Amino acid sequence: MASNILIISHGAAFMTNALVNNLRKNGFSAEVVEPDIKMIGQKRKDTDIYLMYAGEFVFDAADVLVYLKDICAEDEKPFCIVGYDKELTEIKDTVPQKFISGEFKRPFDMKDLTASLSALAAADEERKKGRHILLVDDDPTFLKMMQDWLSMKYNITSVRSGMQAITYIATHKPDLILLDYDMPITPGPQVMEMIRSEHNAAEIPIIFLTGKSDKESVIRVMALKPQGYLLKSMNKEEIVEAVDHFFDTKKWKSAT
């Protein structure tokens, strides 16, 4: 999957257009926005790497720099900067070095920049791949389908009952549990209650899997205070996007 790079710049159209074209030739998706909080925020969901192509505007952009620092920290996304010495210094007066994933002094080598961004994109994919999801569902067909869909990005462990899930988390701590709401013998709500009572597992995020989308059922599910819910009728793209969004923001995007 191509990484999406958001280039933040003002007044350097020729250079940023050349940068965009070069990145696209190397398999990235790239676009340019003005150093404006609202415009950057609109692209946040789809951005994998932020790249600021600095100019004189950075001397009056402290609010934008703080915003970029905050969202990169929250979403665990790389933030890179390109500019002359005085521009880079100005940026680093607002954004601590630990939040800057790459720094490139002008004039820069386009190949070096592209190679560095490729390395950051690969590292981000590895970081995502390291996340571990426990799938709990009594339907073997649905379980296999979900595993196939999510295993391209995440490490997946599948179990077919609530008690198997409880046994598993006794010695493992997944980063997320996708839990079937309607299971025989030990239904999802009871499994969640048991997990929440375990000291070492109480903080593991739980997202319910449910086939019911009517308002009453959704209210009943969310009243249990899981991190969210997935409708089993959602397609592959919707489910993968919802799980990605949760990991990127630690917030759940409504499934309806």
DSSP string, 6-52: EEE-SS-HHHHHHHHHHHHHTT-EEEEE-S-HHHHHHHGGG-SEEEE
> How much is the pLDDT for 112?
87
Residue recorded with tokens 């560095």: 116
Measured CA to CA in angstroms, residue 236 lies from 121, 150, 181, 201, 232 at distances of: 23, 9, 19, 28, 10
Instruction: Report DSSP state, residue 117.
Output: H
> How much is the pLDDT for 167?
87
- Classified by CATH at the fold level, domain 4-128 comes out as Rossmann fold (3.40.50)
The domain 130-249 belongs to what CATH superfamily? Response regulator (3.40.50.2300)
Q: Which amino acid would we find at residue 17?
A: N
Candidates 38, 36, 90, 97; CA nearest to 69 is: 97
> How much is the pLDDT for 83?
95
Sequence-distant (≥ 6) Cβ neighbours of residue 220 within 8 angstroms: none
Candidates 96, 101, 139; CA nearest to 122 is: 101
Contact 68, 52 (CB under 8 A): yes
Tokens of 171: 């010695």
> How much is the pLDDT for 256?
43
> How much is the pLDDT for 252?
57
The segment(s) of the chain belonging to CATH 3.40.50.2300 are 4-128, 130-249
pTM of the complete model: 0.59
Q: Judge residue 7's burial from the number of C-beta atoms within 10 Å of its C-beta, 0-12 exposed, 13-18 middle, 19 or more buried.
A: buried
Q: What is the greatest pairwise CA distance in the chain?
A: 66
Q: Which residues of the chain have pLDDT under 50?
A: 1, 254-256
Can you tell me whether residue 194 is helix, strand or coil? helix
Residue recorded with tokens 């004039």: 107
> How much is the pLDDT for 74?
85
